[in-house]
């Protein structure tokens, strides 16, 4: 079987399983990186968001066969000690309630700050609007993204 080489959080990996397996399954079940969560499974909620080559990506609908040569960053790889400016801002603003969607929220925000280090309110609104939070922490999420951007 053809093996797929990719990098996850800076570590080179090869995958030899079902090419149609979603990236989220691979991350959670094989690499035990459980920060990205299963919410809807159809690309609608954002709980499973990770970065693929710097782009926020719904890992629940991203098949492993599309991952050859790609660089994946999950919440576990965002910083060495959980001290990325977004993670610190999340703590300062006490963002999470149940927490389930929050790693996806942070990874979505990481894409935004990667592209626009000083986003406007509208940039933040547009970037974050596809990430759903059932606890309604949206206001604190917006606050934290602004704080992280400085």
**Residues forming the site for ligand FES (CB under 6 A):** 38-41, 43-48, 58, 60
21/147 with CB nearer ligand FES: 21
Task: Tell me whether residue 112 or residue 149 sits nearer to ligand FES (CB atom).
Answer: 112
15, containing H or E segment: strand 11-15
φ, ψ of residue 117 to 5 degrees: the values are -60, -25
Alpha-helical regions (H) of 12-137: 23-25, 85-92, 102-115, 121-128
Closest distance of CB 50 from ligand FES, Å:
10
Question: How far apart (Å, rounded) are the C-alpha atoms in residues 30 and 131?
Answer: 25
Nearer to ligand FES, 107 or 144 (CB): 107
Q: Which residue is nearest to ligand FES (CB)?
A: 60
State the minimum distance, in angstroms, from the CB of residue 53 to ligand FES: 18
Question: Shortest Cβ distance from residue 62 to ligand FES (Å)?
Answer: 9
Query: How far apart are the C-alpha atoms of 81 and 127, rounded to whole Å?
Result: 25
């Amino acid at each position: 079987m053809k093996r797929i080489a990719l990098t996850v959080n800076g570590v080179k990996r090869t995958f030899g399983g079902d090419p149609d397996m979603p990236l989220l399954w691979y991350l959670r079940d094989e690499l035990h990186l459980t920060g990205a969560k299963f919410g809807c499974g159809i690309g609608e909620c954002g709980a499973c968001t990770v970065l693929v080559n710097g782009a926020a990506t719904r890992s629940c609908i991203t098949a492993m066969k599309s991952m050859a040569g790609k660089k994946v960053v999950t919440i576990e790889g965002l910083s060495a000690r959980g001290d990325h400016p977004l993670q610190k801002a999340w703590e300062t603003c006490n963002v999470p309630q149940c927490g389930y969607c929050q790693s996806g929220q942070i990874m979505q925000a990481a894409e935004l700050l990667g592209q626009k280090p000083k986003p406007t309110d509208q940039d933040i609104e547009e970037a974050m609007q596809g990430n759903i939070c059932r606890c309604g922490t949206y206001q604190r999420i917006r606050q934290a993204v602004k704080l992280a951007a400085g």
